[in-house]
Structure 1
Amino acid sequence: MPALFVGHGSPMNAVEENRFVEEWKALGNKIPRPAAILSVSAHWFTEGTRVTDAQAPRTVYDMYGFPDALYKIVYPAKGAPEFAHLAKSMISRKVTIDNSWGHDHGTWSVLHRIYPDADIPVFQLSVDRGISPHEHYQIGRELSALQEQGVLIFGSGNVVHNLARVNWSMDGGYPWAEEFDAYIKEHVMARQNENVINYQQAGASAAMSVPTPDHFSPLLYVLGASENAERVTVFNDACTLGALSMTSYLFQ
């Protein structure tokens, strides 16, 4: 299986039709059908590393103030307990089974577009707030063998994510957002992963684009899992709302 990082952007992408969503919909026909999906979502940002092993995870509505249509979406994909336990055994750090969570909107807002039938099992791995970028990457490396068993490793976040600077009437990105997004794309495509892991070296644009690591870190898990990928495809290559990047990567 390939590995996939999607810039998920606004939760409204779950109900709106736009150029970004069209690319998501096309993914289901571009990659092999997974046996299961391991989602690393920016919206499960925890103390310690956690994984869900529930048979039937709930749909989590972890966003506020949006139209009712968004809260009516249910993504009833089953869990994948066996793969969850296998993933736990692969990670050298302590991992806690935690079913207080479920499929959050970083997961379901994208997957219900790619796999609308919700007929592929999904389990989530949290983003550990207490570890370094290199440790996120290392966890991805440790999990890479799951791909040989048909598991799609899916990271959902945003390369640029600064909600304090979002401009809802702006189509593109601020110069610092465009600069940082281009910096990351250059090094991802060149497979210069150390420069992505050490993203702070980009300077002021990094500080503005990644004020907190929750949305950037899922990319590091995916990079680690795809260290030996032969091909990288970039899609949805754009910033929007001033301070969000939708840029996404498929590693095959």
Structure 2
Amino acid sequence: MSRMPVLFVGHGSPMNALAKNAFTDSLTELGKRLPKPQAVLCVSAHWETQGTQVLYNAEPPTIHDFYGFPKPLFDVQYPARGPLSLAHETQRLVPGSTLNEKWGLDHGTWSVLVHMYPHADIPVYQLSIDVSKTPQQHLEVGKLLKPLRDQGVLIVGSGNIVHNLRLINWREQNAAYDWAVEFDKDIKQALEKRDPNALTHYEDQFGEAARKSVPTPEHFYPLLYTYGASDENDKLSYPYEGFEMGSLSMRNVLWS
């Protein structure tokens, strides 16, 4: 079995689950051109826990973890089955992690996969973000996941490099603040240089642009997991680049 790629997706608004636009078209195209995975492991910005947890559920429910959106979004179901043996293997790879039978697939996962694999015919599970870990520790967990790539697992990080909901520009869908563009470019360069220090010490490295772009870290951390699961032999590309509403970077990153 050939080694699977690693993917980071800037997922943006939950409404992208229902949308047809350049961003969602790029996800549809990725699902067609990437090697078919045995399973998808998603590190979603929307599952934060004390301690690292691995979803262990043969029939994970679709979690609608948001409010104030139209009913059709709450009607979306993504009935992928859960790969229990791979969940056990993932727990083994990450010392101190535990299995969680109660969580499901949150919108950081299904809003992306509904475009990549619309038939929900690929098994899916999640890895949580341990809120007690440092950025460097998140990156190190990503490294521990790397053997899964050789078992047919597509590792997906779902968040946003720039994610500031308080400063959203509701008037212009495709707007981008200067500081958001600056930080997104800085992180792109850090990825290309394979500079883990810049990625894990982004505020020290990039100052005010970083503080505005990452007011809370949960949407940035999935990038660290995917970077950790990649290596210097991977080809780096960007299946999609762009911004939504000023303060959301929609950049996708692929290591293949």
- TM-score bracket for this pair, using the shorter chain length: over 0.9
Aligned amino acid, residue 199 of structure 2: V
Aligned amino acid, residue 168 of structure 1: W
| Deviation of 1:117 (Å) | 0.5
2:216 alignment partner in structure 1: 212
Identity %: 47
Candidates 20, 29, 39, aligned match of 1:36: 39
1:12 alignment partner in structure 2: 15
2:106 alignment partner in structure 1: 104
| Deviation of 1:27 (Å) | 0.3
Q: 1:30 to 1:191 in 2, by over 3 A?
A: farther
| Deviation of 1:228 (Å) | 3.6
Matches for 1:134-153 after TM superposition, within 5 Å: 134-153=136-155
| Deviation of 1:235 (Å) | 2.6
How far apart, CA to CA, are the structure 1 residues paired with 2:25 and 2:202? 29
Candidates 194, 207, 214, aligned match of 1:203: 207
Aligned residue-pair number: 251
1:121 alignment partner in structure 2: 123
C-alpha offsets along residues 218-242 of structure 1, whole Å, 9 cap, x if unaligned? 0000000002442011132112201
Q: 1:24 to 1:121 in 2, by over 3 A?
A: same
1:155 alignment partner in structure 2: 157
C-alpha offsets along residues 84-134 of structure 1, whole Å, 9 cap, x if unaligned? 110111113x11211221000000000010000000000100011110011
1:224 alignment partner in structure 2: 228
How far apart, CA to CA, are the structure 2 residues paired with 1:36 and 1:215? 23
1:81 alignment partner in structure 2: 84
Conservation of the 8 A alpha-carbon contact between 1:35 and 1:150 = yes
SS in structure 2 opposite 1:203?
helix
Candidates 179, 182, 187, aligned match of 2:185: 182
| Deviation of 1:194 (Å) | 2.5
Of residues 7-16 and 162-171 in structure 1, the stretch that sits farther from structure 2 once superposed is 162-171
How far apart, CA to CA, are the structure 2 residues paired with 1:239 and 1:132? 27
Aligned amino acid, residue 153 of structure 1: I
Candidates 45, 48, 53, aligned match of 2:51: 48
SS in structure 1 opposite 2:104?
coil
- TM-score, normalized by length of structure 2? 0.96
- TM-score, normalized by length of structure 1? 0.97
Aligned amino acid, residue 20 of structure 2: E
| Deviation of 1:74 (Å) | 0.3
1:25 alignment partner in structure 2: 28
C-alpha offsets along residues 44-82 of structure 1, whole Å, 9 cap, x if unaligned? 011111111110000000011101110111000000111
2:194 alignment partner in structure 1: 191
1:243 to 2:247 alignment? yes
2:175 alignment partner in structure 1: 172
How far apart, CA to CA, are the structure 2 residues paired with 1:116 and 1:240? 23
C-alpha offsets along residues 9-45 of structure 1, whole Å, 9 cap, x if unaligned? 0011000111111101100122100000110000001
Gaps of 5+ in 2: none
How far apart, CA to CA, are the structure 2 residues paired with 1:46 and 1:168? 31
How far apart, CA to CA, are the structure 2 residues paired with 1:139 and 1:48? 12
SS in structure 2 opposite 1:227?
coil
How far apart, CA to CA, are the structure 2 residues paired with 1:230 and 1:85? 27
Aligned amino acid, residue 229 of structure 2: A
Gaps of 5+ in 1: none
Conservation of the 8 A alpha-carbon contact between 1:229 and 1:251 = no
Aligned amino acid, residue 60 of structure 1: I
How far apart, CA to CA, are the structure 1 residues paired with 2:140 and 2:36? 26
How far apart, CA to CA, are the structure 2 residues paired with 1:128 and 1:48? 5
Aligned amino acid, residue 28 of structure 1: G
Candidates 62, 65, 68, aligned match of 2:71: 68
